[in-house]
Amino acid sequence: MSEPTPPLVDVRGMTKRFGALTALDDVSLRLAPGAFHAILGENGAGKSTLVKCMMGYHRPDAGHVLVDGQEHHVGGPRDAHRLGFGMVYQHFTLVPSMTVAENLVLGKDDLPAVIRWDVERESMKAFLSRMPFRVDLDRTVGALAAGEKQKIEILKQLFLGRRVLILDEPTSVLTPDEADQVLGVLGEMSRDGRVTVVLITHKFREVEAFAREVTVLRAGRRIGGGAVTDLTRADLVAMMIGAASLPEPAPRAALAPSPAMLGVEGLTVLDDRGLTAVREVSLAVGAGEILGVAGVSGNGQRELVEALAGQRRPESGIVRVAGDAYRPTRGQIRRRRVFVLPEEPSRNACVRQMTVAENLALRSFDRPPIALAGGFLSRQQLRAQGRELIERFKIRAAGPDARLDTLSGGNVQRTVLARELSESPKVLVAQNPCAGLDVAATAEIRGRIMAARNAGAAVLLLSEDLDELMELADRIVVMFEGRLVYETARAAADPHVIGHSMASHL
């Protein structure tokens, strides 16, 4: 079976408006057969909008797609599939309860009414024998690691005959090793002219290591681009963030080592399915120390944070704060000043339908000055506190009475951080605090976490972004399948070794 070669794709003048916002403004892109083209930009720069217009999810307000010189109307994903376009999403589109084989067959546009599994399996095996990845067709997808799932997403697109692969931040769920492997293989395939790859990313390293061309977007516009070899890192940074250089890391105060402020002993926590997510984890964080927990998403980090926040009851184990046993009741949280910034705070730490001021008061509304005698609240005091925190933490909101769900992701993050940091925490637990934020907001949030550490808080920082941990943490541990499998001091940390232990504890 010979493989079809990828077509020449020309995207011209794509423009997409959402109400008053122009998400994409006259962006063009040319993909030669076998290209490896990166689209670089911050969150909200219009990268996803561009490819969603190509894939037929959005109807562009202007612009069109030429394939091998011919204009094609892409009215929906099926039209895009017929042109050979396939998209690999940031969030997996595999069906977790199905096997790998079922998932591969599922995407076929000409899926027969009754599936001849023997025939399908033969064709899958023949296909897999030409592929650089090994997968077991009978495994249930839900039980696979993130890296495996990402490979299967890519295999699925190739199996379905898609020759223009669009990858939307594919490495955000992979360890550095897995990312290198996946992108490396795609790089080879594109050099051989078997596929064209479009890589959406905000990571400079991926652009430099794998892409041959790059297009940089900012605020919906094409700012620049060209052959990657013609551009320096400084050029890319300047184009992407519109400033000459990346912000400096927050200053780290030199503090003397101190006894453990937060201690966790033998903590075991179950997940939603009743399976063990955190296995007898023990750790200690000193006052004025940031302990970074590295790991690929889904290795128990969420459950660990929820257990510390009081959102999930642990099976066994003890949490200590300043040496005393700690249970996250409202009284103890307040007395011990243990505060938490969970991931996806708009879902996990806010009431979206309440105002910003009310969300800021969730820790303090039942105490004076907001609480009055007889169970009444002082709206005036509540607003005053809201105004003060909005000012201090530079939250961009229409005012203290704006509903939280009108705020952008970065400002929701600032709101929760303002609430949790306003009472000078002794212990701060933060998970992926900068996920989805732009460079400036990221620098600001990291600065606040560092400032809390410098002021003597014990910080437990769980992050999927290894660069973030390398910047902030004093010590780094790696979490894999619910266990802590590796520990290193910041000074001695080697990202390669850490990345390796994120994939296995060997």
Partner 1 sequence: MNGELGAWGAMIAVVGGAIRVSTPYLYVSLGETLTEKSGRVNLGLEGTLVMGAMSGYAIAYLTGSPWLGVLVAGAIGAGFGLLHAVVCSLPRVNDIAVGIALFLFGTGLAFFLGKPYIQPSAPRLHHLALGWWSASPQIRVALEINALFVAGIVLALALRFILAGTRWGLVVRTVGDNADAARALGYSLRGVRTLATMAGGFLAGVGGSFLSLYYPGTWNEGLSSGQGLMAIALVIFARWNPIHCFWVSLLFGAATALGPALQSIGYTSNYYLFNAAPYVLTLGLLVWSSSPRHALLGAPSELTISK
CA–CA dist 134, 400 (Å, integer): 54
- Assigned token pair, 31: 């993909």
CA–CA dist 183, 133 (Å, integer): 12
CB 293 within 8 A of CB 264: no
Considering only 93, 123, 332, 346, the residue that binds partner 1 (CB under 8 A) is 93
Considering only 10, 42, 102, 438, the residue that binds partner 1 (CB under 8 A) is 102
Any contact of residue 298 with partner 1 (CB under 8 A)? no
CB of 390 to partner 1, least distance (A): 31
Considering only 271, 280, 344, 465, the residue that binds partner 1 (CB under 8 A) is 271
User: How far is the first Cα of the chain from the last one, in angstroms, to the nearest whole number?
Assistant: 40
Nearest Cα neighbor of 284 from 258, 303, 309 is: 258
Residue 6 neighbours by CB under 8 Å, 6+ apart: 33, 34, 84, 163, 164, 193, 194, 195, 196
CB of 98 to partner 1, least distance (A): 7
Interface with partner 1 by CB under 8 A: which range of 1-9, 29-37, 96-104, 124-132?
A: 96-104
Q: How many chain residues touch partner 1 (CB under 8 A)?
A: 32
Interface with partner 1 by CB under 8 A: which range of 5-13, 178-186, 264-272, 287-295?
A: 264-272
Q: Which is nearer to partner 1, 314 or 400 (CB)?
A: 314
Q: Which is nearer to partner 1, 145 or 262 (CB)?
A: 145
CB of 302 to partner 1, least distance (A): 14
Beta bridge partners of 267: 281
CB 498 within 8 A of CB 478: yes
Q: Which is nearer to partner 1, 105 or 430 (CB)?
A: 105
Interface with partner 1 by CB under 8 A: which range of 95-103, 404-412, 431-439, 483-491?
A: 95-103
* Identity of residue 438: D
Interface with partner 1 by CB under 8 A: which range of 66-74, 89-97, 172-180, 498-506?
A: 89-97
Residue 460: Cβ within 10 Å count:
24
DSSP string for residues in 431-443: ESTTTT--HHHHH
* Identity of residue 109: D
Residue carrying structure tokens 């990828």: 6
Footprint (CB under 8 A) of partner 1, residues 197-256: none
For residues 108 to 147, the per-residue mask of contacts with partner 1, x marking binding by CB under 8 A and - elsewhere, is -x-xxxxx-x------------------------------
Any contact of residue 95 with partner 1 (CB under 8 A)? yes
DSSP string for residues in 345-403: HHHHS--TTSBHHHHHTTTTTTSTTTB-GGG-B-HHHHHHHHHHHHHHTT---S-TTSB
Interface with partner 1 by CB under 8 A: which range of 7-15, 266-274, 322-330, 464-472?
A: 266-274
Considering only 87, 360, 382, 484, the residue that binds partner 1 (CB under 8 A) is 87
Q: Which is nearer to partner 1, 32 or 115 (CB)?
A: 115
Any contact of residue 105 with partner 1 (CB under 8 A)? yes
- CA-CA distances (angstroms) from residue 369 to 178, 377, 381, 401? 53, 9, 7, 19
Task: Please return the burial class of 496, using the count of CB atoms within 10 Å of its CB with bins 0-12, 13-18 and 19+.
Answer: exposed
Any contact of residue 73 with partner 1 (CB under 8 A)? no
* Identity of residue 467: D
Considering only 98, 185, 255, 377, the residue that binds partner 1 (CB under 8 A) is 98
Considering only 134, 244, 272, 492, the residue that binds partner 1 (CB under 8 A) is 272
CB of 278 to partner 1, least distance (A): 14
Q: Which is nearer to partner 1, 76 or 184 (CB)?
A: 76
Considering only 130, 233, 313, 505, the residue that binds partner 1 (CB under 8 A) is 313
Q: How far is CA 94 from the centre of its chain?
A: 18
Any contact of residue 91 with partner 1 (CB under 8 A)? yes
CA–CA dist 461, 468 (Å, integer): 10
CB 505 within 8 A of CB 480: yes
DSSP code at position 214:
E
Q: What is the largest CA-CA distance in the chain?
A: 81
Considering only 256, 273, 374, 506, the residue that binds partner 1 (CB under 8 A) is 273
Binding positions for partner 1, rule: CB under 8 A? 76-78, 81, 87, 89, 91-98, 102, 105-107, 109, 111-115, 117, 270-275, 313
